[in-house]
Amino acid sequence: MQDQYSVEDLLHLMAQLRNPNGGCPWDLKQTFSSIVPSTIEEAYEVAEAIEIEDYEHLHEELGDLLFQVIFYSQLGLEQGHFDFSRIVDTLVRKLVRRHPHVFPSGELYGENDPSAVDEAEVKRSWEAIKAKERNAKGESGVLAGVTAGLPGLTRAGKLQKRAAQVGFDWPDINGVLDKIEEEVAELREAVAAGNREHAGEELGDLLFSCVNAARHLKIDPEAALRQCNRKFERRFGLVEATLRTDGRGPEEASLQELDQLWEQAKADEKQKPGT
- Give the pLDDT confidence of 218-228 residue by residue, as tens digits: 999 988 999 99
Domains 7-82 and 152-219 share a fold: yes
Pick left, alpha or beta for residue 106 (phi over 0 → left; psi -120 to 50 → alpha; otherwise beta): left
Instruction: Report the chain's mean pLDDT, rounded to a whole number.
Output: 92
CB 69 within 8 A of CB 36: no
Whole-model pTM: value is 0.67
pLDDT in tens, 141-192: 889 888 888 889 999 999 999 999 899 999 999 999 999 999 999 999 999 9
Looking at residue 273, its pLDDT comes to 61
What is d(CA 186, CA 198) in angstroms, rounded to the nearest whole number? 10
Rounded Cα gap, residues 69 and 7, in angstroms = 12
For residue 35, what pLDDT is reported? 95
> Which CATH fold topology does 7-82 show?
Helix Hairpins (1.10.287)
| 152-219 maps to CATH 1.10.287.1080 | yes
Distance CA 162, CA 142 (A): 6
Q: How far is it, in rounded angstroms, from Cα 165 to Cα 161?
A: 6
The separation between CA 122 and the C-alpha centre of its own chain, rounded to angstroms, equals: 23
Residue extents of the structural domains in the chain = 7-82, 152-219, 223-271
CA distance 38 to 70: 13
Per-residue pLDDT tens for 86-124? Answer: 999 999 999 999 998 888 888 999 887 767 677 778 878
